[in-house]
Amino acid sequence: MPFCTTDPNLRNDWLTVGSAAQLRGTDSEHPVTTRLLGNDLLLWQDADGAPHCSADGSAMPIRQCYGYLWVLAGDGTAPALFDLPEYAQPGRRIVDCGGIGVATSGLRVVENFLDIGHFPYVHTGTLGKVPHTEVAPYRAQVDPATGEIWATDCHFFQPRASASAADGIDAQYQYRVMQPFTAALYKSCPNRDGERDVICLFVQPLDEEQVIAHVLLVYFEDVLSDADMIAFQHMIFGQDKPILESHRPRRLPLSGPLEAHMRCDLTAATYRRWLRQRDVRFGVHAPTAA
């Protein structure tokens, strides 16, 4: 296959190519185009609604799950996609916030998603506020059963934790990293005691330094419109995007002197160690490379 990486983490796992809704009205003669791992893809659906994908004339394994399309870029056996039981839970709203292009490594986008510490400075007045800058101790570990990262017991003062929040709350968070390019945030749900709203981040790596960050909300929400919920997420992501694009190198350093000078919180540090242990190379800065 013609993809630009041999990294088995990317070649042997499902990667998103965007919402399944983009296939409406397509067929093999009228596909939509996108990019993945440096290659152009054609996407369409057949008369039965089944998705299809080709790259350079070769058919690619593709499946639909959680309202999104997932492509397998390698030739090996497809693994199971991560579990997201909340997606099918009765009463939840499923709101696709669409994709936002970001000119950086997808690993930086995921790492930023995991970083609570930037809230008061980047999302002032919504997800955080000076002087409430202290991040209380929490735990981050790899689940041996699934290989996923879970950060638990995170809580943080937020003046306006969501589009529907009227007052500041001590928001309870859990972070989860399912794949190098997918993560989810579980946050206390103001409308259902004991339940958690879920924000999913599915990063589509166009190449090593260009991505589309797709955001999917799986919420209990009785009041807000889809447009309100999408606008809030776009406002938050719009604050992150210029900062993400200002980082140099664009690819994420995992070792060497660059990392020593960067502040990492516990989850981000766990993420970097997890990427190193998996020998992820796609989107990683290699200081000695030509």
Sort strands 51-55 and 39-45 into parallel, antiparallel or unpaired: antiparallel
Q: Would you give the binding string for Fe ion spanning residues 6-45, x where CB under 5 A is met?
A: ----------------------------------------
Closest distance to Fe ion from the beta carbon of 96 (Å): 20
Q: How many other CB atoms are there within 10 angstroms of residue 142's CB atom?
A: 15
**Cβ-Cβ contacts under 8 Å for 120 (sequence gap 6 or more):** 128, 129, 130, 131, 132, 133
Which residue number places its CB atom closest to Fe ion?
Answer: 240
Closest distance to Fe ion from the beta carbon of 244 (Å): 9
Q: Of the two residues 53 and 266, which places its CB atom closer to Fe ion in the complex? A: 266
Q: Of the two residues 197 and 240, which places its CB atom closer to Fe ion in the complex? A: 240
Q: How many other CB atoms are there within 10 angstroms of residue 213's CB atom?
A: 25
Of 71, 74, 73, 54, the residue nearest 62 (C-alpha): 71
Closest distance to Fe ion from the beta carbon of 6 (Å): 32
Binders of Fe ion: how many residues, by CB under 5 A? 1
Q: Of the two residues 36 and 229, which places its CB atom closer to Fe ion in the complex? A: 229
Residue 60 buriedness (CB in 10 A; 0-12 / 13-18 / 19+)? buried
Helix axes 106-114, 226-246, angle to 10 degrees: 110
Q: How far apart are CA 37 and CA 55, in angstroms?
A: 11
Q: Of the two residues 51 and 117, which places its CB atom closer to Fe ion in the complex? A: 117
What SS3 class is residue 121? Answer: helix
Q: Of the two residues 17 and 200, which places its CB atom closer to Fe ion in the complex? A: 200
Q: Which of residues 225-244 bind Fe ion (CB under 5 A)?
A: 240
Q: Of the two residues 111 and 221, which places its CB atom closer to Fe ion in the complex? A: 111
Q: Of the two residues 13 and 240, which places its CB atom closer to Fe ion in the complex? A: 240
Closest distance to Fe ion from the beta carbon of 243 (Å): 8
Nearest-10 Cα torsion for 73, 287, 253, 215:
-40
Q: How far apart are CA 72 and CA 15, in angstroms?
A: 6
Q: Would you give the binding string for Fe ion spanning residues 47-86, x where CB under 5 A is met?
A: ----------------------------------------
Closest distance to Fe ion from the beta carbon of 261 (Å): 21
Q: How far apart are CA 247 and CA 252, in angstroms?
A: 9
Nearest-10 Cα torsion for 213, 219, 224, 228:
0
Closest distance to Fe ion from the beta carbon of 239 (Å): 6
Q: How far apart are CA 249 and CA 215, in angstroms?
A: 25
Q: Of the two residues 221 and 240, which places its CB atom closer to Fe ion in the complex? A: 240
Closest distance to Fe ion from the beta carbon of 240 (Å): 4
Q: Would you give the binding string for Fe ion spanning residues 187-226, x where CB under 5 A is met?
A: ----------------------------------------
* Residue 265 binding Fe ion, by CB under 5 A: no
Applying CB under 5 A, the residues found at the interface with Fe ion are 240
